[in-house]
Structures are given as C-alpha cells and as structure tokens.
Amino acid sequence: MNSTRASLPTDLSMALAAAHDALDGFASTVHYYAVAGSTNDIAAEFARAGAADGTVVVADAQTAGRGRNGRSWFSPPGAGLYVSIILRPTAVDASATGAPPWARLITLAAGVALATGLRTATGLPVDVKWPNDIVVADSQAPTAAARRWRKIAGILAEGQTFDGVLQHVVLGYGINLQAAAYPPDIADRASSLEAELGRGVERAPVLVQTLAALRREYEALLSGDAAGVLDRWQALAPSSHGTRVSWTQAGTAHEGTTAGIDHEGALVVIEGPLAWHVTAGEVVWV
C-alpha cells in the first residue's frame, strides 16, 4: 500500500490551531499524507501502537479508500478531504455487554457531525441518509420521497476487539470538495460541495467544523445523551420518515415505508402490519 507522509499544509495547521478551544483535545495530533492507501488503515496502525483518543489522519488522496460493504471510495488527488479519527475513551467488555452505546451509535453521531459541520462551513443544506451518507437533495421536489439525492460524503466506522474487549474505533469520512470524473457506477448519484454551491470551497474550514462537530456529538454519546444524538439525526434526515425503501432480509425481498429510527439506531420500516427494524444490509430508496 503506497502512502506518502508529508508536513501538515499551512492552511490546515493554522485553522486547527485557531480552533484549539473548539476541538478541546481532538486533533491534538494530526498525521497528514499527500497520498494514503487508506486513512482508516493508517489510523488503525497508529491505534494498535497506542495512539491517543482523538488522533487524526488526513490525506489529500487515497489509493485504496473504501466505504461500507467493501466498496471502494473514489479518492482522487485534490478533489476531496479524507479523514480518520481514533476513538478510544475506555476499554469495554464487548463479550459481556456487546458494543458500548457510544460505539453502536458512532456512525449516526458522525452523520450528525458531518451534516452540521458542512452546513456551518459552507451553508449548503445537506441531509443525512441512513445509515452513513451525507447527501444533498432536490429542493423543488414536492415530498421527501420524490427527492433525488446526490452523495457528498460517506462515513465508515471500524472497531477492533481483543479478548472480547473493544480496544478502539477508527472513524473515517470522505468529503467530495470539488467535481471530479466519477466512475460510471456512481456518476449519477455523486456530487461535490463546489458543484452544488457553484463556487469554490476552502478545505480548512470544512475540516475544522466537521471535527469540532464530531467532538461535540462524541462527547454527547459518552455523557449518556444518546437520545439527543438520535433526535438531532432524525431532524437532519427527512428521508427517514415516509420514504419507500426496499431491502432483502434472510433471502426475502421486502418493501416498505420508513418510520424513523429506534433507540439502537436501526431504521424502522413499515411493511403492511409489520414494523421492521433494519440494522444491516443494503437498503435501496425506491
């Protein structure tokens, strides 16, 4: 895996220094790569070597970026911001209790953080789409169900356990800053901040605002305010209510209407008299 480490660019170092109080210990250590294989893989290596909670890896490009279900994440040079953060507040016995609440809900908390941070940094009214996409939708559509989404950013959380104890979670996210020649399989549903705004976007405010928002949501989970995180997620995710979706469970195809999320972050879908709580697999917005 080819990775080229470099000095943190001036625009990023100055912005992070200016946001020191808002970050409150987050990103006190930042490793920057002009080209990385995968920021999540690099962050995982640092985590295994004992890197502290809040350590950040940033890359200008990835050669092996990935999203959910093993999909590749298109990460060309200069077009995006690729970030991974090490989260390790305490070791929790996962064999006895399952993943702790903060780890179970960290992807949804990150969705809140990215949407909030991007809105603050750019003014673009992005939405969250279950479970891990940040999208912009057609504003003129008559209903949420009729809107066409274009993906701006994605999130991938990966944990590591040892003897049943959760050691850390690496939370990665990629943001499309500039328009690029997207691969054919995603060209009709991918977009960038600059394409949607019709103007240039500086990466430093985007990095700082998303990290600051992530710190706030992470601390909310650690303090026991999971309900607040889930409420904020639903407020930023109009498609989680009243939208037709299809999915496959245990080899059977289903189709229903979204009805929010439950306290565990599962997507609730109504199919006739049944209320499904979808926790995994591929959900397609019909």
Strands 30-35 and 56-59, sheet pairing: parallel
- Shared domain for 184 and 49, answered yes or no, is yes
Of 22-26, 54-58, 144-148, the range with the lowest mean pLDDT is 144-148
Q: Mention every residue, 6+ apart, whose C-beta is less than 8 A from residue 35.
A: 2, 3, 4, 59, 60, 61, 62, 63, 77
- Looking up residue 250, the CATH number of its domain turns out to be 2.30.30.100
Confidence of residue 2 (pLDDT cuts 50, 70, 90): low
Higher pLDDT, 155 or 181: 155
- Shared domain for 35 and 17, answered yes or no, is yes
The stretches of 55-200 forming alpha helices (DSSP H) are 94-97, 101-104, 106-122, 193-197
Predicted confidence at residue 79, as pLDDT, reads: 86
- Shared domain for 227 and 252, answered yes or no, is no
CA angle 19/104/236 to nearest 5° reads: 60
- Shared domain for 173 and 204, answered yes or no, is yes
- Shared domain for 266 and 228, answered yes or no, is no
In angstroms, rounded to a whole number, what is the distance separating the alpha carbons of residues 8 and 46? 17
- Looking up residue 184, the CATH number of its domain turns out to be 3.30.930.10
Q: Which of 92, 30, 55, 57 is nearest to 222 (CA)?
A: 92
- Shared domain for 259 and 161, answered yes or no, is no
Backbone φ/ψ region at 69: left (φ over 0), alpha (ψ -120 to 50), beta:
left
Structure-block tokens of residue 178: 């500039």
| Residue 245 confidence (pLDDT) above 90 | yes
Cβ contact 110:214 at 8 Å? yes
Average pLDDT, the chain: 88
User: Please, what is the end-to-end C-alpha distance for the chain in angstroms?
Assistant: 38
Structure-block tokens of residue 70: 């093993």
- Shared domain for 56 and 195, answered yes or no, is yes
Cβ contact 252:273 at 8 Å? no
- Shared domain for 232 and 257, answered yes or no, is no
Backbone angles phi, psi at 259, to 5 degrees: -140, 40
Q: Based on the structure, what is the number of domains in the chain?
A: 2
- Shared domain for 255 and 180, answered yes or no, is no
Q: Rounded to an integer, what is the distance from CA 155 to the centroid of its chain?
A: 3
- Shared domain for 125 and 262, answered yes or no, is no
Predicted confidence at residue 163, as pLDDT, reads: 80
- Shared domain for 208 and 280, answered yes or no, is no
pLDDT digits (tens, 9 = 90+) for 59-107: 998 887 665 555 655 667 788 999 999 999 864 544 445 678 789 899 9
Predicted confidence at residue 249, as pLDDT, reads: 86
The one-character DSSP state at 189 is T
Give the best-scoring range by mean pLDDT among 144-148, 158-162, 184-188, 219-223.
Answer: 219-223
Of 44-58, 97-111, 220-234, the range with the lowest mean pLDDT is 97-111
pLDDT digits (tens, 9 = 90+) for 129-168: 998 899 998 765 656 555 678 899 999 999 998 887 888 9
- Shared domain for 123 and 257, answered yes or no, is no
Q: Which of 1, 90, 96 is nearest to 41 (CA)?
A: 1
Q: Mention every residue, 6+ apart, whose C-beta is less than 8 A from residue 215.
A: 22, 23, 24, 25, 26, 54
Predicted confidence at residue 70, as pLDDT, reads: 56
| Residue 172 confidence (pLDDT) above 60 | yes
Domain range for 268: 241-285
Which pTM does this prediction carry? 0.91
pLDDT digits (tens, 9 = 90+) for 111-125: 999 999 999 999 999
Counts for the chain of helices (H) and strands (E), in that order: 9, 14
